[in-house]
């Protein structure tokens, strides 16, 4: 009964930007403790979908209902480009922002908080980098830092938008292990992906988006060659239609 109450229901969701339709009539349910890959061609509405789930944009039509007992503020990791990379701030300070829900704008960090930050840094392998400025980090280290911040947010719903783009295999493995750990702890995780192999290997469920929902369920049934062909085909037809 309790697990049922954490379900997320997506009901006839449509999102448009001006005249451009990003997503049309998407419906489905996200069960608690699921690990879902979100897959599809560029411009297929993947980022829009996760932004709506993270309540960053409002649906044009339809609705998303989070059934939570208390607060269910999701942790959301956007694509890197939205952040101010040369900002004079240390790795530790960025990671500490993950504690905002308990510390806020005014309270000071206690010893418990400091050790939580240390643990998060160690978990992503950045323990020796805590006083480094973020402008000195490589792309992979930057992403590890953001994952450490997600650890501290300690949310039951985690949404990651293309976390593995431009990142080496070693870092990807560390971050994937972390995602699996979250999954074992009972969290719900949605990840926007471009890597077909990774989706098939590590993600039990997949949502295939190309403006419409072309598949929602077990990865082996959704990510068939036929469905993937269809998704790219649908995208092409759609592009042509927009041109005419």
Partner 1 sequence: MFKEFFLSPFHYEFMRNALLSCFCLSLGCGPVGVFLILRRMSLMGDALSHAILPGAAIGYMIAGLSLPALSLGGFIAGLLVALLAGLVSRTTLLKEDASFAGFFLIALALGVFIISMGKSSIDLMNILFGSALAVNHQTLLLMGTITTFTLSTLAIIYRALVAECFDPQFFGRVHGHGTFYHILFLMLVVLNLVSGFQSMGTLLSLGMMMLPATAAQFWTRKIWPMGAIAVLIGLVSGYSGLLVSYHMNYPTGPSIVLIAGLIYIFSLLFGAKGSIRHYITNRVKQS
Query: Contact residues for partner 1 (CB under 8 A)?
Result: 54, 56, 73, 76, 78, 82-84, 87-89, 93-94, 97, 100-101, 104-106, 133, 135, 153
Residue placing its CB nearer to partner 1 in the complex, 2 or 106? 106
Residues 31, 186: contact at Cβ < 8 Å?
A: no
Residue placing its CB nearer to partner 1 in the complex, 23 or 54? 54
Shortest CB 12 distance to partner 1, Å: 25
Residue placing its CB nearer to partner 1 in the complex, 83 or 229? 83
Shortest CB 229 distance to partner 1, Å: 35
Shortest CB 159 distance to partner 1, Å: 11
Q: Which residues contact 84 (CB under 8 A, 6 or more apart)?
A: none
Residue placing its CB nearer to partner 1 in the complex, 69 or 131? 131
Tokens of 192: 């926007």
């Amino acid at each position: 009964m309790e697990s049922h109450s954490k379900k997320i229901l997506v009901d006839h969701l449509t999102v448009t930007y001006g005249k451009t339709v990003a997503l049309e009539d998407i419906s489905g349910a996200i069960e608690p403790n699921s690990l879902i890959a979100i897959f599809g061609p560029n411009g297929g509405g993947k980022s829009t979908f996760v932004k709506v789930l993270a309540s960053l944009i409002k649906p044009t039509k339809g609705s998303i209902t989070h059934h939570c007992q208390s607060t269910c503020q999701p942790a959301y990791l956007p694509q890197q480009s939205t952040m101010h990379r040369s900002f004079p701030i240390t790795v530790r300070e960025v990671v500490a922002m993950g504690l905002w829900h308990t510390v806020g704008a005014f309270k000071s960090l206690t010893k418990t908080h400091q050790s939580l930050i240390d643990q998060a840094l160690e978990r992503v392998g950045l323990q020796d980098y805590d006083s480094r400025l973020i402008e000195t980090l490589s792309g992979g280290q930057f992403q590890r830092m953001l994952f450490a911040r997600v650890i501290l947010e300690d949310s039951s719903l985690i949404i990651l938008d293309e976390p593995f783009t431009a990142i080496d295999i070693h870092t990807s493995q560390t971050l994937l292990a972390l995602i699996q750990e979250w999954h074992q702890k009972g969290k719900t995780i949605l990840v926007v992906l471009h890597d077909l192999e990774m989706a098939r290997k590590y993600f039990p469920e997949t949502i295939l988006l190309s403006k419409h929902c072309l598949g929602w369920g077990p990865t082996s049934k959704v990510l068939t060659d036929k469905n993937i062909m269809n998704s790219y085909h649908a995208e092409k037809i759609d592009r042509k239609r927009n041109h005419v």
